């Protein structure tokens, strides 16, 4: 069940003049708290010389100063300076209810007291004495706890995260947080260094908040301060690149508006049936397909160019009983094969290595193949994804990542690796020999190929299809 944010303020967000860079707006005007509202606790707030400072008080819980406007997809930048003994954080996509409420979030029931902020938090943790410097980690406030890092403070991930935190954090000085929330992906940077990345979409929209952590009755922590300045946001449209992505070599593989760069595997034209574009989303329309028939209506679509070394990311959304896929190293000149016999046939999906997209719970293909190698996130009919992989509910966006460099290939689903293999290795060839592709010479070992989005007779949607070329390893 999706929890809807209930605003407690009637005033619209007071937006300051745009920053010098196009598309950025200042959330804090440096003078007053127009567009902000206090929730949960009773910390003290002051403004001086364009700096907003929160001060800890005893006898109250966590305090939050939150925007009165909600945000979904965005880049957020915040500069902060925090006393070493005080924990703080920046809330994003967070919610609050005016009354005590029981709510189902991420399949689990939570009980929230009245006016309790809950949701994603980018941590501010400056206490070097604790040997846990987790600033720019991601915490799920009042809900599920730590999302990154995980495994407990002594785990390898947490120890490495702390060590990096000690290197990049600036105690007693101004630090800069950068947070990108785009679809199910949330990424953080601290002072220009990448820190955390998760895929999680239980609340896709909510307020932004500045935390002053509660101190209980610790008298030595009364009056500790966390200060904020230069709080600005750039809302992201679907199928857009951030400045950092552009600098890192990313490009849009689908522009979100047209069919440019794509065609049918069977001709030089884009299919006239099956595929629709609306509101920045590319969707297979089941009303234009032929039920469960594979690539028999409009058919698959492939990139006009061929690729070998690359990183590809895409958001995709399934429907009940959905079957689809993303293929790489696609060879349109090789005849499709029958899905039962593996023999060449005149109809069917183009040949390539497939990142399987499937509603595992409601499509029979999940129980076919070997050891689950036709389930979501698998290398189709070759290597299974883990049974405990993280899959968003039907109707919500998932995030796929495919890395191909030399013969090395990785599939990722919602921030977790599902498959890793070496094309041409003994293990890979053994898997091919047991698959329906066994009669295709050199299957999966081609030097390059097209990228394909599959039409398999059921509704599936794509957006934010991004791509960058990698050096050969």
DSSP string, 324-371: EEEEEEEETTSPPB-TTT--B-SSSPPEEEEEEEE-TTT-GGGGSSST
What is the rounded distance in angstroms from the CA atom of residue 88 to the CA atom of residue 121? 9
Task: List the Cα angle 358/360/361 in 5-degree steps.
Answer: 135
pLDDT for position 5: 29
Question: Would you give the distance in Å from CA 43 to the centre of its chain?
Answer: 33
| Residue 238, Cβ density class (10 Å: 0-12 exposed, 13-18 middle, ≥19 buried) | middle
pLDDT for position 297: 61
- In 10 A of CB 118, how many CB atoms? 25
**Tens digits of per-residue pLDDT, 10-35?**
233 344 444 446 789 999 999 999 99
**Tens digits of per-residue pLDDT, 434-449?**
999 999 999 999 999 9
Mean pLDDT of 100-115: 88
The 3-state secondary structure of 368-384 reads CCCCCCCCCCCECCCEC
**Tens digits of per-residue pLDDT, 378-394?**
999 999 999 999 998 89
Number of residues in the chain:
473
What is the rounded distance in angstroms from the CA atom of residue 347 to the CA atom of residue 351? 11
pLDDT for position 210: 97
Q: Which pTM was predicted?
A: 0.83
Q: Is the pLDDT of residue 145 over 50?
A: yes
pLDDT for position 2: 33
Of the listed ranges 127-141, 316-330, 367-381, 440-454, the least confidently predicted one is: 127-141
* Phi, psi dihedrals of residue 221, rounded to the nearest 5°: -110, 0
Name the 3-class secondary structure at 433: helix
Extract the tokens encoding 440.
């295709």
**Tens digits of per-residue pLDDT, 300-322?**
999 999 999 999 999 999 999 99
Residue 308 pairs in a beta bridge with none
Average pLDDT, the chain: 90
What is the rounded distance in angstroms from the CA atom of residue 202 to the CA atom of residue 438? 41
């Amino acid at each position: 069940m999706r929890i809807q944010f209930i605003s407690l303020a009637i005033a619209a967000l007071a937006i300051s003049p745009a920053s010098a860079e196009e598309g950025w707006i200042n959330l804090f005007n440096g003078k007053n708290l127009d567009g902000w509202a206090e929730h949960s606790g009773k910390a003290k707030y002051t403004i001086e010389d364009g700096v907003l400072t929160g001060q800890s008080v005893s006898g109250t819980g966590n305090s939050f100063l939150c925007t009165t406007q909600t945000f979904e997809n965005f880049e957020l930048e915040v500069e902060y300076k925090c006393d070493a003994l005080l924990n703080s954080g920046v809330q994003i996509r967070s919610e609050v209810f005016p009354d005590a409420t029981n709510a189902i979030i991420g399949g689990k029931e939570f009980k929230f007291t009245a006016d309790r902020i809950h949701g994603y938090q980018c941590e501010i943790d400056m206490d070097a004495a604790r040997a846990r410097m987790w600033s720019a980690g991601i915490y799920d406030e009042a809900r599920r706890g730590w999302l990154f890092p995980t495994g407990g403070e002594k785990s390898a991930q947490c120890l490495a995260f702390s060590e990096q935190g000690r290197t990049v954090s600036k105690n007693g000085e101004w630090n800069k947080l950068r947070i990108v929330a785009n679809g199910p992906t949330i990424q953080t940077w601290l002072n220009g260094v990448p820190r955390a990345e998760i895929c999680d979409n239980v609340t896709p929209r909510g307020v932004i908040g500045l935390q002053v952590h509660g101190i209980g009755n610790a008298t030595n922590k009364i009056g500790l301060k966390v200060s904020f300045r230069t709080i600005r946001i750039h809302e992201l449209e679907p199928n857009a690149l951030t400045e950092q992505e552009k600098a890192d070599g990313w490009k849009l593989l689908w522009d979100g508006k047209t069919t440019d760069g794509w065609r049918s595997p069977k001709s030089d034209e884009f299919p006239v049936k099956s595929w629709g574009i609306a509101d920045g989303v590319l969707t297979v329309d089941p009303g234009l397909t032929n039920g469960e028939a594979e690539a028999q209506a409009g058919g698959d679509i492939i990139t006009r160019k061929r690729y070998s070394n690359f990183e590809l990311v895409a958001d995709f959304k399934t429907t009940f009983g959905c079957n689809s896929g993303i293929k790489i190293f696609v060879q349109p000149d090789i005849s499709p094969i029958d899905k039962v016999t593996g023999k060449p046939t005149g109809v069917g999906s183009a040949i390539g290595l497939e990142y399987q997209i499937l509603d595992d719970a409601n499509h029979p293909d999940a129980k076919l193949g070997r050891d689950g190698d036709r389930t979501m996130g698998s290398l189709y009919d070759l290597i299974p994804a883990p049974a405990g992989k993280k899959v968003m509910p039907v109707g919500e966006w998932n995030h796929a990542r495919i890395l191909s460099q030399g013969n090395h290939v990785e599939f990722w689903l919602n921030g977790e690796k599902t498959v890793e293999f070496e094309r041409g290795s003994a293990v890979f060839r053994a898997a091919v020999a047991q698959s329906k592709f066994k009669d295709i010479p050199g299957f999966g070992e081609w030097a390059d190929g097209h990228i394909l989005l599959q039409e398999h007779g059921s509704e599936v949607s794509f957006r934010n299809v991004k791509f960058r070329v990698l050096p050969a390893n």
